[in-house]
Structure 1
Amino acid sequence: MDILVKLSQFLLSLSLLIVLHELGHFIPAKIFKTRVEKFYLFFDVKFSLFKKKIGETVYGIGWLPLGGYVKIAGMIDESMDTEQLKQEPQPWEFRSKPAWQRLIIMLGGVTVNFVLAFVIYIGMTWYYGDKYIANDSLKDGVWVTSDVLEGLGMQSGDKIISIDGAHLERFDEAALKIVMGKEIKVDRNGEEKIIKLPVDFINSASNRKKTKLLMPRMPFVVGGFSDDSPNQEVLKPKDFIHSVNGVEIKYFDQMEDALKPFANEKVVAGVTRNDKQVEVTLQVNAEGKIGVAPALITHNDAEKLGLYKLSTDRYSFLESIPVGINMGINKLKEYGQQLKLIGNPETKAYKEVGGFMAIFNIFPDFWSWEAFWQITALLSIMLGVMNLLPIPALDGGHVMFLLYEMISGRKPSDKFLEYAQTVGFVLLIALLLFANGNDIFKAITGK
Structure 2
Amino acid sequence: MGTLIMAGQLILALAILVSLHEWGHYIAARSFGIRVEKFFIFFDAWGVKLFSKKIGDTEWGIGWLPLGGYVKISGMIDESLDKDQMSSEPEDHEFRSKPAWQRLIVMIGGVTVNFVLGVLIFALSLWHYGEKSLPNSKVLEKGGIEVSELGKSIGFQTGDQVVGVKGLKAVNYYDLFKPINYIKSGLFYDVVRNGQEVKIEVADSIRKQVLESKGKVDLFSYRRAAFAGDLTDSGGAKVSGMLKGDRILSIDSLEVAFFDEIGGAAFNFKGQTVPVSIERDGKPMVINVAIDTAGKLGMYPNNLAQFQNDIVTKEFGFIESFPAGYNKGTEALMVNVIAFGEMFKGKLNPVKSVSGPVGIAKIFGATWRWQRFWEITGMLSFILAFMNLLPIPALDGGHVLFLLIEMVRRKPLPEKVMYYFQVAGMIILFALMAFIIFIDAFNALF
Q: Which amino acid aligns with 1:255?
A: I
Contact 1:200/1:346 (CA < 8 Å) preserved in 2? no
Task: String of CA shifts for 1:54-85, please: whole Å, max 9, x gaps.
Answer: 01111001111101111111212222222212
Determine if contact 1:164/1:184 at 8 Å carries over to the other structure.
yes
Contact 1:130 1:312 (C-alpha < 8 Å) held by counterparts: yes
- What is the match of residue 329 of structure 1? 330
Task: Identify the match of residue 301 of structure 2 among 294, 304, 309.
Answer: 294
Check whether the contact 1:146–1:210 (CA below 8 A) recurs between aligned residues.
no
Is this contact kept in 1: 2:182–2:208, CA < 8 A?
A: no
Q: Percent identity?
A: 38
Residue in structure 1 matched with residue 257 of structure 2 by the alignment = 250
Query: Shift in Å at residue 142 of structure 1?
Result: 4.6
Q: How far, CA to CA, are the matches of 2:87 and 2:148 in structure 1?
A: 60
Segments of structure 1 that go 5 or more residues without pairing to the other structure are none
- Give CA deviations for 1:295-354 in whole Å, capped at 9, x if unaligned: 3447xx7233xxxx2222223222223222222232222332332333342343552211
Q: Deviation per CA, 1:18-50, whole angstroms, max 9, x where unpaired?
A: 111110100000011111111011110121000
* Alignment of 1:217 onto 2:223: yes
Distance 1:73 1:144, change over 3 A: farther
Q: Is the 8 A contact 2:251 2:275 kept in 1?
A: yes
**Residue deviations 1:176-213, cap 9 Å, x none?**
34533521221223222222222233542345994455
User: Quick check: 1:186 aligned with 2:188?
Assistant: no
**Aligned AA for 1:97?**
K
Q: Hey, what does 1:277 align to over in structure 2?
A: 284
Query: Scaled by the length of structure 1, what TM-score is found?
Result: 0.89
TM-score by length of 2: 0.89
Relative to structure 1, is the Cα distance of residues 274 and 68 closer, same or farther in structure 2, using a 3 angstrom cutoff? same
Residues 209 and 217 of structure 2 are in contact (CA less than 8 Å); yes or no, is this contact kept in structure 1?
Answer: no
C-alpha RMSD of the superposition: 2.6
Alpha-carbon distance, 1:288 to partner: 4.3
Alignment-derived partner of residue 150 in structure 1: 152
The 8 Å contact of residues 38 and 58 in structure 1, kept in 2 or not, is answered as yes
The one-letter code sitting in structure 2 at the alignment partner of 1:192 is: E
The aligned runs of 1:418-437 (5 Å cut-off) are: 418-437=419-438
Q: Kindly report which structure 2 residues correspond to 1:335-414, keeping only aligned pairs within 5 A, or say none.
A: 335-348=336-349, 350-414=351-415
Give runs of aligned pairs for residues 306-325 of structure 1, distance below 5 A: 309-325=310-326
SS at match of 2:44: strand
- Measure the CA separation in 2 of the matches of 1:55 and 1:183: 61
Of 309-318 and 222-231, the range deviating more from structure 2: 222-231
The answer to whether the 8 Å contact 2:144/2:223 transfers is yes
Counterpart amino acid of 2:30? K
Following the alignment from structure 2 to structure 1, what is the Cα–Cα distance between the partners of residues 207 and 427?
A: 29
Alpha-carbon contact 2:275-2:288 (below 8 Å) kept: yes
**Is the contact made by 2:24 and 2:110 (CA closer than 8 Å) also made in structure 1?**
yes
Deviation at 1:117, TM superposition (A): 1.1
How many angstroms does 1:377 deviate by?
Answer: 0.9
Following the alignment from structure 2 to structure 1, what is the Cα–Cα distance between the partners of residues 193 and 273? 32
- Residue matched to 1:39: 39
TM-superposed deviation, 1:129: 2.3
User: Which residue number corresponds to residue 440 of structure 2?
Assistant: 439
Q: How far apart are residue 425 of structure 1 and its match?
A: 1.7
Q: Provide the residue aligned with 1:5 in structure 2.
A: 5
Task: Report whether the alignment pairs 1:200 with 2:205.
Answer: yes
- Larger CA deviation: 234-243 vs 91-100: 234-243
Total equivalences in the alignment: 439
Deviation at residue 250 of structure 1 after TM alignment = 2.5
Task: Determine helix, strand or coil for the equivalent of 1:22.
Answer: helix
Aligned match of 2:248 in 234, 237, 241? 241
Query: Take 2:182 and 2:313, find their aligned partners in 1: how far apart are those partners?
Result: 25
Pairwise CA distance, 1:7: 2.9
The DSSP-based 3-state class of the residue aligned with 2:386 is helix
Q: Distance in 2 between matches of 1:427 and 1:366?
A: 35
Letter in 2 for 1:218: R
- Residues of 1 paired with 2:437 and 2:275: CA distance? 50
Deviation at 1:276, TM superposition (A): 4.4
Contact 2:135 2:172 in 1 (8 A): yes
Q: Which residue of 1 aligns with 2:177?
A: 175
Which range moved further: 130-139 or 26-35? 130-139
Take 1:113 and 1:23, find their aligned partners in 2: how far apart are those partners?
10
Q: Tell me the CA shift for residue 124 of structure 1.
A: 2.2
Instruction: State the alpha-carbon separation in 2 of the partners of residues 75 and 142 from structure 1.
Output: 61
8 Å contact from structure 2 (residues 147, 156) kept in 1: no
Contact in 2 for aligned 1:10/1:363 (Cα 8 Å): yes
